[in-house]
Amino acid sequence: MKIVLEHITKRYPNRNKKIGGLVTAVEDFDLTIPDGKLVALLGPSGCGKSTTLNMICGLEDPTEGKIWFGDTDVTRLSPEVRGVGMVFQSYALYPHMTVLQNIMFPLENLKGADKLSRDEMVRRAEHAASLVQISELLERKPSQVSGGQQQRVAIARALVKTPKVLLLDEPLSNLDARLRLTTREEIRRIQRETGITTVFVTHDQEEAMSISDEIVVMENGVIRQVGKPQRVYDEPDNLFVSKFLGTPPINVFEGHVERGQLYIGTERVLDVFQAPDGPVTVGVRPEGFVVDADGPFTCGLVAVERMGRDTSVVATHDALEAVQMRAIVSSDARVDTSASNVRFRLRPEKTRLFDAQTGQRIHFVGETMEEPAEVMAREARAAAGAPKPEAGATA
Amino acid sequence: MNTRSMKGWLYLIPAIAFLGVFVVYPLFDVVVYSFEEGYNSASQTFFGTGTYNFSYVLRDTYFIQALKNTFILVIITVPLSTGLALLISVGLSSIKKLQELYQTIFFLPYVTNTLAVGLVFMILFQKTAYTDGFVNQIIHLFGGSSVDFIDGPYWAKMTVMCIYTVWVVMPFKVLILTSALASVNPDYYKAAKVDGTSSWRIFYKITLPMISPMIFYLIITGFIGAFKAYGDVVAIFGTNLNAAGMNTIVGYVYDMLYGDGGGYPSYASAAALVLFAIVLTITVINLLIQRRSVQTS
Ligand SMILES: Nc1ncnc2c1ncn2[C@@H]1O[C@H](COP(=O)(O)OP(=O)(O)O)[C@@H](O)[C@H]1O
Ligand SMILES: [Mg+2]
């Protein structure tokens, strides 16, 4: 089932009665969720992810805008009519019922023509349980199964009515780190097996990146970028997105562009042809640094850490936004640990420029791993003084 | 014993001493008194030991009446007050506007003096030579004939007693139940709503089981409280409860000690032990039922 959110806005009365007025939780949210895909809503706490999910579910009415399931306008329909299944962060398993009773609960609500016989209910509940591989736990109480298993029970309960849409609100945040890894693969497997359109809310970028077909990065109730995880990671539209994705995070510097050259501090660190002159914010992914004794970029060396297959160089720089930066370099890189400085070369495809004021992306030639032919064509166009394709590239 | 637990006991000494002098010792004394036959409180002597005090008490018509009154009070007011409190609490929790104001109003009787409340009840229900009283005027309005609720027939007096008791215990129960309702994770209700559960089924299948530990707590304390009823009865019917036919077990105990026919600590002790046995039995039964039916997560 394709889901379309059309200019959705949600305003709540302020929880703090002394301040009063309205709080905008989600603003002008425009999104199409393709049929059969797993989409993650990603953003920091309080950015409106749950609110968006609750509106898709039907637990909250949007203040403005429309929601479509396929060709049906479901904006004013109640959840059970929409045909959605939902998994809550707390799982919300009824503690006084067994696992089987929990899974059967949605079926027992069916009335009239949809009413099922007891045997049919048990059969469907058992089917849902086998899908999430908890068939041997059916007689237990939720408190008698592990956190990961509770999670599966909650998913089985959400799936038992064979909904068209599965919604999960931070489904992994109550699990420990190891279980989180296996459970997210499990969610991916179930989603693939059922082919059900799934919306997944998380504040953990790694979680979102690892299992979703598409991620929607949100900030303060607004969509900042939508796309395939790798694409959003490589080509962030703005500084917020680039900082939100990636562990360790992107390293952010103040810099400026002068005649196609990027300067950080006084050093000329990279060719950034076609980027306009002026101050910029520079983001360099940890893997964007290459240790090079003749490199143009000098940083203060703090430590060299070898962890497993990674070698990271912890360093400082005056133009750095954070206190320290972290570069992940190849394990055969030679770093003189007794020196006070380390010199780097920057990989253009891992270096991103943003407008110093607005945080919007600034493009430059050579920032993508393009086919050589493409680069040659573009350089030929530039040499010929043809209209330049990059935004704001009129220097 | 290590110094840590030594310290613990040291801190406990004041409490233990206090409880020992004012709770444990009197309790022990009551048992002793109840088996001393023909005790004379003036000379502090007695004839012998045995179970005569118990057989006297259990054959005393005043005690039988007190026992009957207490049981009626318990059986009517405990379910009624708990049920009503549940209804009011559910109502209160679904109100959005002015919820706190209503909660305060319902809590007011809790901080009001029992005797003052009793006086008000008496004025509402009493029928005198000058006035029929407020309640009787309402009965008139519906075409009934007036009843003397304070000095009249037994069932009329019992009605007043029950209404009064329910009214007095209500605020505490409402307070406990509203907080129990508020502590249920709202995700349960959201999940039920997503599944299209009707509100009656949500209440019956989710809310009620979730707050059942608190309901059981209220039932048990309600039983104990109603069995110990005394002050409330005095507030409405005065101190001569035997004459009014409205005595309770605790009232009987008090009369045996200090009433007109008082000065019989042995009889009083025996009656108190009978009450203790009843309360203990009912509490144990309650706890057994609770263990079987209440699920805590
Ligand atoms: N019922 C509500 N009443 C008032 N404000 C709310 C309500 N629900 C959420 N909000 C506010 O809306 C914003 C978004 O909340 P939410 O959707 O829960 O964020 P997230 O799930 O991304 O952490 C927050 O600022 C939150 O305080
Ligand atoms: Mg949330």
Nearest CA in chain A to B207: A94
Write phi, then psi, for A316 (nearest 5 degrees).
Answer: -130, 160
CA distance A213 to A37: 6
Cβ <8 Å between B198 and A59? no
Query: What residues of chain A lie within 8 A of the CB of B209, using their CB?
Result: 94, 96
CB B137 within 8 A of CB B127: no
Q: Is residue B295 less than 8 Å (CB to CB) from chain A?
A: yes
The pLDDT, as a whole number, for residue A378 is 62
Query: Are B201 and A92 in contact (CB < 8 Å)?
Result: no
Q: Tell me: cis bond preceding A248? Omega within 30 of 0 counts.
A: yes
Length of chain B: 297
Residue nearest to atom 13 of ligand 1 (CA): A25
Round to whole Å and give the CA distance between B91 and B86. Answer: 8
**Residue carrying the six token digits 């959003």:** A232
Predicted confidence (pLDDT) per residue in A91-136, tens digit? 999 999 999 999 999 999 988 888 889 999 999 999 999 988 899 9
Q: Is the pLDDT of residue A393 over 50?
A: no
Average pLDDT, rounded, for chain A: 90
Chain B touched by A112 (CB under 8 Å): no
Tell me the CA distances in angstroms from B182 to A291, B89, B188, B200, one per residue in order.
Answer: 59, 10, 12, 18
Interacting residues of A54 by C-beta distance below 8 A, sequence separation 6+: A60, B190
Residue A205 and residue A317 in contact, taking contact as beta carbons nearer than 8 Å: no
Q: What's the mean pLDDT in A193-201?
A: 94
A376 — pLDDT class (breaks 50, 70, 90): low
Pick the ligand that lies closest to the CA of residue A171: 2
* CB proximity A163 to B under 8 Å: no
User: What's the CA gap between A133 and A120, in Å, rounded?
Assistant: 19
pLDDT at A370: 58
- pLDDT tens digits for chain B (297 residues)? 678 888 889 999 999 999 999 999 998 988 988 888 877 777 777 777 888 889 999 999 999 999 999 999 999 999 999 999 999 999 988 887 777 888 788 888 788 887 788 888 888 888 777 777 888 888 888 887 778 888 888 888 899 899 989 988 898 999 999 999 999 999 999 999 999 899 999 999 999 999 999 999 999 999 999 998 888 888 888 878 888 888 999 999 998 888 776 678 888 999 999 999 999 998 898 888 888 765 444
Tokens read off for B194: 């997503």
| Gyration radius of chain A's alpha carbons | 25
The tokens of B177 are what? Answer: 């139940």
pLDDT given for residue A136 in this prediction: 94
Instruction: Report H helices in A18-57.
Output: 49-57
Contact B187 A92 (CB under 8 A): yes
Chosen for mutation from A54, A74, A109 (greatest number of chain B CBs closer than 10 Å) is: A109
Q: How large a percentage of chain A has pLDDT more than 70?
A: 93
pLDDT of the residue at A292 = 92
pLDDT band, very low/low/confident/very high, at A371 (cuts 50, 70, 90): low
pTM metric for this prediction? 0.81
pLDDT of residue A361 exceeding 70, the answer is: yes
Q: Is B26 exposed, middle or buried (0-12, 13-18, 19+ CB in 10 A)?
A: exposed
- How many angstroms does the Cα of residue A43 sit away from the middle of ligand 2? 10
Contact A218, A47 (CB under 8 A): yes
Angle at B172 between CA B171 and CA B174, to 5 degrees: 65
Indicate left, alpha or beta for B21 from its phi (over 0: left) and psi (-120 to 50: alpha): alpha
Q: Count of alpha carbons within 13 Å of B36, Cβ hemisphere only?
A: 16
What distance in angstroms lies between residue A25's CA and the mean position of ligand 1's atoms? 6
How crowded is residue A191: how many other Cβ atoms within 10 Å of its Cβ?
22
Q: Nearest residue on chain B to A143, judged by CA atoms?
A: B297
Q: Show Cβ contacts of residue B257 under 8 Å, excluding neighbours closer than 6 positions.
A: B263, B264, B265, B268
Question: Whole-angstrom Cα distance, residue B32 to residue A182?
Answer: 68
Distance CA B28, CA B199 (A): 53
CB contact under 8 A, B193 and A85: no
What is the band of A287 on the pLDDT scale with cuts at 50, 70, 90?
A: very high
Q: How many CB atoms lie within 10 A of CB A89?
A: 16
How many other β-carbons are positioned within 10 Å of the β-carbon of residue B185? 15
Ligand that lies nearest to the alpha carbon of residue A25, given by its number in the listed order: 1
Does B232 or A238 have the greater pLDDT score? A238
Q: Is A86 on the interface with B (CB under 8 A)?
A: yes
Please report which residue ranges of chain A form alpha helices under DSSP H: 49-57, 79-82, 99-108, 118-131, 147-159, 177-194, 205-211, 229-234, 239-244, 372-383
Dihedral, A107, A113, A118, A124 alpha carbons, nearest 10: -50
B86 exposed, middle or buried (CB, 10 Å; 0-12, 13-18, 19+)? Answer: buried
Count of C-beta atoms within a 10 Å radius of residue B78: 23
Smallest Cα–Cα separation from B78: which of B288, B292, B286, B289?
Answer: B286
CA dist., res. B53 & res. B34, Å (int): 6
d(CA A51, CA A41): 11
In terms of DSSP bridges, do strands A251-258 and A278-284 run parallel, antiparallel, or are they unpaired? antiparallel
Q: E strands along chain B, which residues?
A: 36-37, 48-49
